[in-house]
Amino acid sequence: MSQAFVHFLRYVSAPIRRELPLFVFTAFTLATVHGIDLHLNGRPTTHTVTGTAAGFALALLWAYLITALTIVIRKRWLKVILYVLLTIYFFINLFLFYHFNTTVSPTILTVTAETNPQEASDFLSAFLFTQKSGTALLITLGILIAAVAAEIFLSPIRRLTHHRIGIAIAAILAICVYATGIPAACELYVPLVKCQSPDDISQWRFSTYVKPADTVTDLIYSVYDIYLASDNTRKAIAATRRASQEPVSCQETDSLAIVVIIGESYIKSHCQLYGYYLETTPYLKNELDSGRLYVFHDAVSPYNMTSDVIKNVFSCNSIEAHEPWYDLPAFPAIFRKAGYHVTFWDNQRYFDAQKDYTFALNSFLYNDDICQTCYDETNQRTYKYDLQLVEAFQKEAHHDTPHQLDILHLMGQHFTASNRYPRSKMFIRFRADSIRRNDTFMTKKIKYQIACYDNATYYNDYVVGKIIDLYKNKNAVIMYFSDHGEEIYDYRDFKGREHGDITPQALRYQFEVPFFVWVSDRYKASHAKICNDIAQAVQRPVMLDNICQTLFRIGGVSTSYYHPQRDITHHLYQPHKRLIRGQFYYEDRIK
């Protein structure tokens, strides 16, 4: 063996040989929490196993780099500081995992930064002295004690690692760290640094990488996500503030209530209004037969993620015109400036609060400046079922203003569908034997899941009916659309949504959405022209990002942000190819 090669092996293996206890401790603390997550939460899939393997590779790479730092800076205090920081960080992640099934995330960092001393004291009183916290502490102390013991008895370990065999083993391990960790880091971090918004990071999280990962990556992306969110939110706030200073007027002289209902994960083909064989929407079907409901047949969502959709729905931007959502104002602010009383009741406000996609949306919707500019009232809690939200809205919100814009964001048919409706005979309308499917992959269990989804759709119809009942005797218009679609074993052995390449069939189920407008008898009698225009528009293609244009016309809002060519009900409406996820056109993929 040449002297140069031996020198090379000694060089690359030095961090592991000289600081083996620190190397093992670092790798273990950075990767263990996500390993526990994979073990406890659900069956492993190819994607999660691959993600975990890459996460372990990254943990080893970070451990190698950290130990290399102690080789370069030969100070005992540095090693002590590293042990302390790694121990604290490991305990924090283990604490969060045991209590909230999460690790460090953008929301966790934001909440921590915004917590005052009293709130911090209350939190610690509630969670610190618990069995789960004790378990996290015992595991942390056990690992730390093992590392300290290894440091104390380092001499025998060093003698072993300075032997030729020890050097060879350490060198092989170091080379494996390079060979696996560097490609994993490139695959993960290169797309991350290209992200320009929290929406991009959400896409990155789903398409490039998914938990389990390593906790260093958690911290890196969380800090970067907060930075991007604050930047885009600042732009959106500035645009909304500018709009609130511009001249706006309301041409509607009569009292008027406009209601926007945003559904969730609604598969268009499971809706009776669009030909589904089960009676999932009896209330709406009755309204359609009565002539009060206008059902649009070609509505498409620009994304299949709630956060991306809602921000583009609230903004006055046009995706087809390549206008970023944060460069245009939020339409509720314009309605409010025009004299409308604006309420926003959101049953997803605190849903999956620890997730990055919720952070990406809520950092905008509930920013203090946005709340002050856009809303007069918002809900302060969420509910297990949507009907409970509607009942609270009926009791708590003001309904006596001349002009009102009420926005309700429902849980709808969000996964898991069986959790979206009460388990009562009234709402368990469909069972496995109700599903008339004979696909090769179809089983009784799958049919049961489809039936649960259809029950959730039936319950959604009931909830929407209760909302309509609140406005039947008013001069009112209600617009309903779902943020995106879903799949529930509709044509293949798959449920949920995909965030990679989208096939034409997946595009139909995940991006085509139900969209309809309901008008009260009083509104129909006094606004025959608009109602006729709505009826004439139901076959036109539309994308959800231009919804506000139709709302401006219905509400009689005169603003520079109204563009009749983007208003599906206007005779100047110009249909255009619809850009999906900013990547391809719907019309090009659906032939």
Of residues 514 and 76, more confidently modeled: 514
Report the domain count for the chain.
2
Q: Does residue 467 carry a pLDDT above 90?
A: yes
In a domain, 369, yes or no: no
| Structure confidence at residue 230 as a pLDDT band (50, 70, 90) | confident
Q: Do 205 and 257 have their domain in common?
A: no
Supply the pLDDT for residue 104: 84
pTM of the complete model: 0.77
- In terms of domains, do 253 and 136 share one? no
Beta strands in 438-569 (DSSP E): 476-482, 487-488, 495-496, 515-519, 542-543, 557-558
Confidence of residue 43 (pLDDT cuts 50, 70, 90): very low
What is the dihedral angle through the alpha carbons of 335, 336, 339, 345, rounded to the nearest 10 degrees?
A: 90
Instruction: Let me know whether 221 and 284 are in one domain.
Output: no
| 497 contacts 486 by C-beta, under 8 angstroms | yes
Q: What's the confidence (pLDDT) of residue 24?
A: 92
**Same-domain pairing of 253 and 222:** no
Nearest to 479 by CA among 365, 240, 313: 313
381-to-347, 348, 420 alpha-carbon distances in Å: 8, 10, 17
Residue 419 banded pLDDT, cuts 50, 70, 90: very high
What is the C-alpha to C-alpha distance for residues 49 and 310, in angstroms, rounded to an integer? Answer: 32
User: Which has more pLDDT, 435 or 47?
Assistant: 435
Separation of alpha carbons 260 and 251, rounded Å: 20
| 3-class DSSP state of 300 | strand
Is residue 412, in this structure, part of any structural domain at all? Answer: yes
Kindly state whether residue 244 falls inside one of the protein's structural domains: no
Average pLDDT (223-233) is 84
| Eight-class DSSP state of 212 | S
Q: Which of 398-436 are b and which e, b meaning 16 or more Cβ less than 10 Å from the residue's Cβ?
A: eeeeebbbbbbbbbbbbbebeebbeeeeebbbbeeeebe
Q: Which residue has better confidence, 328 or 58?
A: 328
Compare 58 and 548 and report the one with higher pLDDT.
548
Mark whether 253 and 113 lie in a shared domain. Answer: no
Greatest alpha-carbon span in the chain: 95
164 and 301 assigned to the same domain: no
- Lowest pLDDT segment from 136-140, 145-149, 303-307, 428-432: 303-307
For the cut 60, the answer to whether the pLDDT of residue 378 exceeds it is yes
Question: What's residue 172's pLDDT?
Answer: 86
Q: Residue 481 — φ and ψ, nearest 5°? A: -155, 155
End-to-end CA distance of the chain: 65
What is the model's pLDDT at position 350?
74
Asked if residue 329 is part of any domain, the answer here is yes
290 lies in the same domain as 421? yes
CB-side neighbour CA atoms (13 Å) of 307: 23
Rounded to whole angstroms, the Cα distance separating 279 from 284 reads: 10
371 belongs to a structural domain: no
Q: Check whether 323 has a pLDDT greater than 80.
A: yes
Chain-centre distance for alpha carbon 511: 16
Averaged pLDDT, 241-265: 95
How large a percentage of the chain has pLDDT more than 90? 62
Mean pLDDT of 5-32: 84
Q: What is the mean pLDDT of residues 231-248?
A: 92
Average pLDDT rounded to a whole number, residues 90-113 = 79
In a domain, 235, yes or no: no
* Summary mean pLDDT of the chain: 89
- Which CATH number do you get for residue 570? 3.40.720.10
Question: What digits encode the pLDDT tens for the residues 324-376?
Answer: 999 999 999 999 999 999 999 999 887 655 555 566 677 789 989 999 999 99
Each residue's pLDDT tens digit, 269-317: 999 999 999 999 999 999 999 999 999 999 999 998 888 899 999 999 9
| Residues 392 and 427 reside in one and the same domain | yes
Residue 495, helix vs strand vs coil: strand
The answer, yes or no, to whether residue 246 has pLDDT greater than 60, is: yes
For the ranges 207-211, 215-219, 469-473, 551-555, the lowest mean pLDDT is seen at: 207-211
User: Same structural domain for residues 155 and 271?
Assistant: no
- Residue 216, burial from CB neighbour count under 10 angstroms (0-12, 13-18, 19+): buried
Task: Report pLDDT digits (tens) over 428-463.
Answer: 999 999 999 999 999 999 999 999 999 999 999 999
Question: At 152, is the pLDDT very low, low, confident or very high (cuts 50, 70, 90)?
Answer: confident
Domain boundary among 179, 197, 227: 227
Which has the higher per-residue pLDDT, 118 or 219? 219
Domain holding 174, by residue range, is 3-227
d(CA 524, CA 427): 32
In a domain, 568, yes or no: yes
Q: What is the number of other CB atoms lying within 10 angstroms of the CB of residue 377?
A: 15
Shared domain check, 264 and 124 = no
Predicted confidence at residue 204, as pLDDT, reads: 80
Confidence at residue 163, expressed as pLDDT on a 0 to 100 scale: 66
Inside any domain, residue 148: yes
The token pair at 315 is 């903004």
3-state helix, strand, coil split of the chain in percent (to 5) is: 60, 10, 30
- Same domain (yes/no): 156, 271: no
Mark whether 411 and 519 lie in a shared domain. Answer: yes
Does residue 159 register a pLDDT over 80?
no
pLDDT for 111? 62
